[in-house]
């Protein structure tokens, strides 16, 4: 008996094969699990066995491929052969001539769903939290265990394209609707009973694609309606991805070609595309950052060890504006009692009304109930009285970005707060060490930088001031995890990490405008680079007046320290637009005009900054936008603002949408190699200015052959 899949034949002759990979919290597809399934298959051949139920002994059915193993593959033959070996076992399973049912007791994702697809029927527990799907594309991969071959033959080419190309989770009820699962069960007992009944009713089960008269539901790739879809799908995909995600292209090719071929040939084609995905730099980048580094962060790599875990029961929020209102919502949602304070009751109530608005919408859409909404709202107390902060474990201030106002509320809150509790500032620009001067307990003072809109953005940047204690950091970290967000930890500095690096992207785009690059080309370059928003539109969102204000404040602060900074070439452009009242989207005018029909580039821009006769190559513009960010991130690393490579990469993707296929701002440098980065940076510096001079840390790596790594 295999240790990965336990086998038990019941009195009714049904073999129950239970996947339970030893030593791992989840079942993952790899040699061990597939050997277990092969042994189950051999047992199924026993004449006394009538059929088989494949289920799991863990909370999930099977979570997907073993990424540890995949990341060790270095030659394309390895993924190709690995994928073909898995398919051989699954083919044996479905060609035994005996019914096999997947009893899906928990998540069946990626390779897990592919195993279930090789069973003759799938029955799942009807729990809305249970996820089915092929999320491989999100890590730059393609389902290599027959997903792009069986799904089109089961639910049709278009639905398969959506499942594999978008990688979204499918809830059991929806899966039933689309024919992905045959039936639903309310609990494990009913699941097993229904699986047994299916076996009894279908003693000679055969897959649809192994029937002589098989036809693709909705038609194969030649069918006119499908062929028409194929004429459009690649354009739609490239509009979304700008061609930056080869996996999307490979998935389309595999499904298209598979839709012209027989099952066996389609399977080989899929394995070839799978190998191409595994070997791509894009999948290496995404697996490195969005899997390994993200998991390291979630496991607390940046949290001081040795401080006991903590939970916030009661939270105080000062300032019930856009940020305070959002922080109140996400915290109450995590079960925390919230005291939301502002200068007037009306302002405090308005902050609470933000939650009401979000919840009303959720109730209307059927995603929540009136009872749940009321229970959550009851957790938020809107007030003007500091006494109400008594008993809070943590207070977060989100008042105006003004040192004096922040100092005032810090003192008032601390007078009520117990001596061992934490006080956090949600400032976006003011150094934490300076703000902590207003505190009687600077060791308990920390930065918790949320992103707007708080309910949607996954990241919180934790900023450690000079006096912040390890205990305070650990507590802040635990709170961020408690509300389901991803924390990165950085040391104090002007603009911290995210605002500082993000600004280089926007400013580089604006500098191009000044040089005479057509504004539309700048915007297209931003999107082609893989950024979620182009630079000029993004500056409008942030507001030009806010950026102006921050830059002036920085200049003043530096002057007080006897320092000056060379002005970025984009600064003059912002000043000029602010002077004519074009302060951004909130005023209805910035680089764009905003009207009822949407936005359009301000026609006067090309008069103010005449378009040069010679326009630069798009590649050069993309490089400028990306090198500016990566180089600034490297400087943050060199200066010790960043404490880890994982925080740098995850912070860049989750914080400001740094093109995910590059795997983050420092992985961008690793992927191309320090030497190539230094060379290209020097070329850009010669042409566009010293801001492109490569960070010393990368120059050193180029000489020594090193790379950014958290490995000790
Ligand atoms: P906002 O103007 O929407 O809200 C500020 C709130 O603070 C207002 O309701 C105001 O009445 C209240 N307030 C002012 N003085 C107060 C006092 N003495 N006591 C109690 N309440 C007071 O501003 P916001 O956008 O929510 O920003 C708040 C903070 O968060 C700022 O420090 C800002 O830099 C930071 N921040 C903002 C963003 C963003 O995108 N807006 C992102 C990250 C951080």
Provide the sign of the torsion angle of the four alpha carbons 690, 695, 701, 703, taken in this order: positive
Q: If one looks up domain 314-492 in CATH, what number appears?
A: 3.40.50.720
Sheet holding 314-318, edge to edge: 380-383, 337-341, 314-318, 394-397, 422-425, 445-450, 459-464, 486-491
Atom of ligand 1 nearest to the CA of 321: 4
**Confidence check: pLDDT of 550 > 90:** no
Provide the sign of the torsion angle of the four alpha carbons 166, 170, 176, 180, taken in this order: positive
Note the helical H segments in 121-262. 147-155, 157-166, 172-177, 188-201, 224-241, 246-258
For the chain, give every residue range classified as CATH 3.40.50.720: 314-492
Gap between the Cα atoms of 230 and 160, Å rounded:
13
For residue 175 the two structure tokens come to 């899966």
Assigned CATH class of 499-640+644-704: mainly alpha
Q: What is the pLDDT of residues 410-467, one digit of tens each?
A: 999 999 999 999 999 999 989 999 999 999 999 999 999 999 999 999 999 999 999 9
Pocket test for ligand 1, best of 327, 341, 384, 400 (most atoms within 8 A of CB): 400
pLDDT band, very low/low/confident/very high, at 712 (cuts 50, 70, 90): low
Which residue's CA is the nearest one to ligand 1's atom 35?
427
Gap between the Cα atoms of 88 and 83, Å rounded:
9
For residue 366 the two structure tokens come to 């059927």
For residue 461 the two structure tokens come to 């940047």
pLDDT band, very low/low/confident/very high, at 556 (cuts 50, 70, 90): confident
Percentage of residues in the chain having pLDDT higher than 70: 100
Give the DSSP per-residue string, 143-159.
-TTTHHHHHHHHH-HHH
Q: How far is the CA of 426 from the centre of ligand 1 (A)?
A: 9
For residue 592 the two structure tokens come to 């764009």
**Confidence check: pLDDT of 75 > 80:** yes
**Confidence check: pLDDT of 264 > 70:** yes
Gap between the Cα atoms of 611 and 237, Å rounded:
31
Gap between the Cα atoms of 529 and 272, Å rounded:
28
For residue 559 the two structure tokens come to 């002057």
Q: How far is the CA of 322 from the centre of ligand 1 (A)?
A: 7
What is the SS3 string spanning 261-327? CCHHHHHHHHHHHHHHHHHCHHHHHHHHHHHHHHHHHHCCCCCCCCCCCCCCCEEEEECCCHHHHHH
Q: How far is the CA of 323 from the centre of ligand 1 (A)?
A: 6
Helix or strand (DSSP H, E) at 204: none
Percentage of residues in the chain having pLDDT higher than 90: 94
**Confidence check: pLDDT of 87 > 70:** yes
The rounded radius of gyration (Å) of the Cα atoms in the chain is 28
Q: Is the CB of 320 under 6 A from ligand 1?
A: yes
Q: How far is the CA of 342 from the centre of ligand 1 (A)?
A: 10
Nearest to 359, CA basis, from 336, 325, 388, 394: 325
How many C-beta neighbours within 10 Å does residue 25 have? 10
Q: What is the pLDDT of residues 306-364, one digit of tens each?
A: 999 999 999 999 999 999 999 999 999 999 999 999 999 999 999 999 999 999 999 99
Strand partners, 132: 108, 170
Strand partners, 490: 463, 642
Strand partners, 593: 589, 600
Average pLDDT over residues 4-31: 95
Residues 6+ apart with CB under 8 A from 603: none
Atom of ligand 1 nearest to the CA of 323: 26
Q: Are 387 and 413 contacting, i.e. CB atoms less than 8 angstroms apart?
A: no
Strands 598-601, 592-595: pairing is: antiparallel
Q: How far apart are the first and last CA of the chain?
A: 40
Pocket test for ligand 1, best of 383, 389, 398, 456 (most atoms within 8 A of CB): 398
366: alpha, beta or left? (left if phi > 0; alpha if psi -120 to 50): left
Query: What distances in angstroms separate CA 447 from CA 412, 427, 432, 465, one per listed residue?
Result: 18, 7, 6, 8
* Cα angle, residue 351 at apex, residues 348 and 356 outer, rounded to 5°: 125
Q: Is the CB of 517 under 6 A from ligand 1?
A: no
Q: How far is the CA of 451 from the centre of ligand 1 (A)?
A: 12
Average pLDDT over residues 383-405: 96
Residues in the chain: 712
Which residue's CA is the nearest one to ligand 1's atom 15?
399
Catalytic residue numbers read 461
Pocket test for ligand 1, best of 318, 323, 402 (most atoms within 8 A of CB): 323
How many C-beta neighbours within 10 Å does residue 556 have? 9
Average pLDDT over residues 526-540: 97
Q: How far is the CA of 29 from the centre of ligand 1 (A)?
A: 48
Provide the sign of the torsion angle of the four alpha carbons 702, 703, 705, 707, taken in this order: negative
Q: Is the CB of 450 under 6 A from ligand 1?
A: yes
Which residue's CA is the nearest one to ligand 1's atom 8?
321
For residue 153 the two structure tokens come to 């033959």
Which residue's CA is the nearest one to ligand 1's atom 20?
342
pLDDT band, very low/low/confident/very high, at 564 (cuts 50, 70, 90): confident
Nearest to 434, CA basis, from 488, 371, 496, 372: 496
Q: Write down the pLDDT at residue 372.
A: 95
Q: Write down the pLDDT at residue 205.
A: 95
Gap between the Cα atoms of 530 and 517, Å rounded:
19
Atom of ligand 1 nearest to the CA of 320: 9
What are the φ/ψ torsions at residue 466 (nearest 5 degrees)? Answer: -60, -35
Query: What distances in angstroms separate CA 587 from CA 153, 169, 544, 548, one per listed residue?
Result: 53, 39, 10, 15
Average pLDDT taken over every residue of the chain = 96
Note the helical H segments in 415-469. 432-435
pLDDT band, very low/low/confident/very high, at 1 (cuts 50, 70, 90): very low
Q: Write down the pLDDT at residue 566.
A: 84
For the chain, give every residue range classified as CATH 3.90.226.10: 5-279
Q: How far is the CA of 324 from the centre of ligand 1 (A)?
A: 7
Gap between the Cα atoms of 687 and 508, Å rounded:
13
Q: How far is the CA of 500 from the centre of ligand 1 (A)?
A: 20
For 34, counting Cβ atoms within 10 Å of its Cβ (0-12 exposed, 13-18 middle, 19+ buried), the class is buried
Gap between the Cα atoms of 248 and 234, Å rounded:
9
Average pLDDT over residues 240-260: 97
What angle, 0 to 180 degrees and rounded to 10, lies between the N-to-C axes of helices 674-688 and 696-704?
140
Q: Is the CB of 655 under 6 A from ligand 1?
A: no
Q: Is the CB of 400 under 6 A from ligand 1?
A: yes
Which residue's CA is the nearest one to ligand 1's atom 16?
399
Which residue's CA is the nearest one to ligand 1's atom 44?
428
Q: What is the pLDDT of residues 137-192, one digit of tens each?
A: 999 999 999 999 999 999 999 999 999 999 999 999 999 999 999 999 999 999 99
Atom of ligand 1 nearest to the CA of 425: 32
Query: What distances in angstroms separate CA 54 from CA 5, 113, 333, 393, 507, one per listed residue?
Result: 9, 12, 37, 48, 56
Helix or strand (DSSP H, E) at 579: helix 571-579
Q: If one looks up domain 5-279 in CATH, what number appears?
A: 3.90.226.10
For the chain, give every residue range classified as CATH 1.10.1040.50: 499-640+644-704
For 489, counting Cβ atoms within 10 Å of its Cβ (0-12 exposed, 13-18 middle, 19+ buried), the class is buried
Residues 6+ apart with CB under 8 A from 619: none
């Amino acid at each position: 008996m295999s240790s990965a899949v336990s086998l038990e034949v019941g009195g009714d002759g049904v073999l129950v094969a239970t996947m339970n990979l030893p030593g791992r919290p989840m079942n993952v597809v790899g040699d061990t699990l597939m050997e277990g399934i092969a042994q189950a298959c051999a047992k199924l051949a026993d004449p006394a066995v009538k059929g088989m139920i494949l289920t799991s002994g863990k909370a999930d059915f099977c979570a997907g491929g073993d990424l540890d193993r995949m990341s060790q593959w270095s030659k394309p033959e390895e993924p190709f052969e690995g994928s073909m070996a898995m398919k051989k076992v699954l083919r044996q399973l479905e060609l035994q001539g005996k019914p096999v049912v997947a009893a899906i007791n928990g998540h069946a994702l990626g390779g897990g769903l592919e195993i279930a697809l090789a069973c003759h029927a799938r029955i799942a527990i009807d729990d809305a939290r249970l996820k089915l799907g092929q999320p491989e594309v999100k890590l730059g991969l393609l389902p290599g265990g027959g997903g792009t071959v069986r799904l089109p033959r089961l639910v049709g080419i278009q639905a398969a394209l959506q499942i594999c190309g978008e990688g979204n989770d499918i809830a059991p009820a929806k899966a039933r609707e689309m024919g992905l699962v045959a039936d639903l069960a309310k609990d494990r007992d009913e699941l097993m009973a229904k699986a047994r009944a299916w076996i009894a009713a279908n003693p000679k089960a055969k897959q649809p694609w192994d029937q002589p008269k098989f036809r693709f539901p909705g038609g194969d790739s030649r069918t006119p309606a499908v062929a028409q879809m194929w004429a459009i799908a690649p354009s739609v995909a490239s509009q979304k991805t700008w061609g930056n995600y080869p996996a999307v292209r490979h998935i389309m090719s595999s499904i298209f070609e598979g839709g012209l071929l027989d099952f066996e040939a389609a399977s080989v084609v899929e394995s070839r595309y799978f190998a191409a995905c595994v070997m791509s730099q894009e999948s290496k980048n995404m697996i490195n950052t969005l899997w390994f580094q993200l998991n390291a962060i979630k496991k607390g790599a940046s949290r001081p060890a040795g401080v006991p875990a903590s939970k916030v029961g009661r939270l105080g929020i000062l300032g019930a504006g856009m940020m305070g209102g959002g922080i109140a919502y996400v915290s109450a949602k995590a079960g925390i009692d919230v005291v939301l304070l502002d200068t007037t009751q009306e302002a405090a109530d308005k902050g609470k009304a933000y939650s009401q608005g979000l919840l009303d919408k959720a109730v209307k859409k059927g995603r929540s109930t009136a009872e749940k909404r009321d229970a959550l709202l009851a957790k938020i107390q809107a007030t003007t009285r500091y006494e109400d902060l008594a008993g809070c474990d943590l207070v977060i201030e989100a008042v105006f970005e003004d040192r004096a106002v922040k100092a005032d509320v810090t003192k008032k809150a601390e007078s009520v707060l117990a001596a061992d509790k934490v006080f956090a500032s949600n400032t976006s620009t003011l150094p934490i060490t300076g703000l902590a001067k207003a505190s009687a307990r600077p060791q308990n003072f920390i930065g918790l930088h949320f992103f707007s809109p708080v309910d949607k953005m996954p990241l919180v940047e934790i900023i450690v001031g000079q006096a912040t204690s390890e205990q305070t950091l650990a507590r802040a970290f635990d709170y961020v995890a408690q509300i389901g967000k991803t924390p990165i930890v950085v040391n104090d500095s002007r603009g911290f990490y995210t605002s500082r690096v993000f600004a280089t992207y926007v400013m580089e785009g604006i500098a191009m405008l000044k040089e005479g690059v057509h504004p539309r080309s700048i915007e297209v370059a931003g999107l082609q680079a893989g950024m979620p928003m182009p630079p000029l539109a993004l500056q409008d969102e942030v507001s030009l007046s806010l950026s102006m204000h921050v830059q002036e404040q920085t200049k003043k602060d530096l002057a007080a320290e006897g320092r000056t900074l060379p002005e970025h070439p984009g600064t003059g452009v912002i000043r000029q637009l602010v002077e004519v009242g074009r302060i951004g989207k909130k005023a209805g005018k910035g680089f764009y005009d905003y009207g009822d029909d949407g936005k359009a580039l301000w026609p006067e821009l090309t008069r103010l900054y005449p378009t040069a006769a010679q326009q630069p190559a798009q590649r050069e513009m993309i490089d400028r936008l990306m090198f500016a960010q990566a180089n600034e991130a490297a400087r943050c690393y060199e200066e010790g603002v960043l404490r880890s490579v994982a925080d740098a990469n995850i912070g860049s993707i989750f914080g400001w949408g740094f093109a995910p296929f590059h795997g983050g701002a420092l992985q961008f440098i690793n992927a191309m190699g320090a030497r190539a980065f230094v060379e290209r940076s020097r070329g850009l510096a010669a042409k566009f200015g010293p801001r492109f001079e490569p960070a010393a840390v990368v120059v050193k790596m180029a000489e020594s052959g090193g790379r950014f790594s958290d490995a000790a």
